[in-house]
Amino acid sequence: MSLYGLIIGICLIIGIEYFQKKNNLIPKNKENYFILGLMFFAIIGARVYGVIAAWNYFSQDPIQILNLRGGGLGIFGGLIGGIIFIYIFSKKNKIKFLDITNLIVPIVPLCQSVGRWGNFFNHEIYGTKGEPIWLYESILLFLFFLFFQKIKKHQSAIYLIYYGVIRFVLEFIRTDTIPFSIITFAQFLSLIFIILGIIIIKYENTHH
C-alpha cells in the first residue's frame, strides 16, 4: 500500500470510529449499510472530481483512473458524493437530512486535515511560489476541528461556510486549478457551499 493509500485508510477509520461512537440516530441494523454506502459514494465522487481536475494526465493513460493509490481524489467530489448518498438514505429511511449531516460533520475537518498529508507524500498541491497549500489547509482544518467541538447548532452550515471560505482563498495561489470563467471551478463550488450554508442557517432558525 502507498503512503497516500495509508493516509486515506486512516481517515476512513477515524470517521467510522467517530460515527459509531456518536450515532444515536441511525438504527444499528442499518449502520453498516450507511457506512459502506457513504464511503462508496464519497470515494466515487472524489475520484470523478480528481479525474476531471487532472484530465490531461488521465486521458493519456485511462487505466490509471482505477489506480486510487496514486492520488487524484478531490475533496469537493468526495463531499458532494457523500451528500448525495445521505440525501438518498434520509429519504428512504425517513430521517431528516440535516440531522444526519449535523451528526457526522464535526469529524469531517479532522479527516480532511489528516487526508491532506496524503498530498504531501504524493508531492501535490503547492502554490505558485512553492507554498505548501496542503499544509496550510491541513492546519486550518485541524484548528477548525478543535473549535467545531464546541458548536451545538448549525454544524453543517458552519462547515460549508468555513470550508468554502478557506478553499476560495487558497485557490488564488494553487497551481493545479480548473479554470471556470474569471475564477476556478473549486472557487465556484466554494461560493455554492457558502451560499448553501447561509440558506441552511436561515432554514434551521425558521424551522426550530
The domains of the chain are located at 3-207
Q: What are the backbone dihedrals phi and psi of residue 184, each rounded to the nearest 5 degrees, phi first? A: -95, 165
Check if the beta carbon of residue 42 is closer than 8 Å to that of residue 78.
yes
Q: What is the pTM of this model?
A: 0.88
Element containing residue 88 per DSSP (H, E): helix 75-93
Grid cell in block for residue 111: 479527516
Question: What b-and-e string marks burial along 140-154, b requiring 16 or more CB atoms within 10 Å of the CB?
Answer: bbbebbeebeeeeeb
Distances (CA, A) of 53 to 115, 139, 182: 18, 24, 17
Tens of each residue's pLDDT in the chain, 208 residues: 578 888 989 999 999 999 999 999 999 999 999 999 999 999 999 988 888 877 677 777 777 767 666 666 788 999 999 999 999 999 999 999 999 999 999 999 999 999 999 888 888 889 988 999 999 999 999 999 999 988 889 999 999 999 999 999 999 998 877 777 789 999 999 999 999 999 999 999 998 6
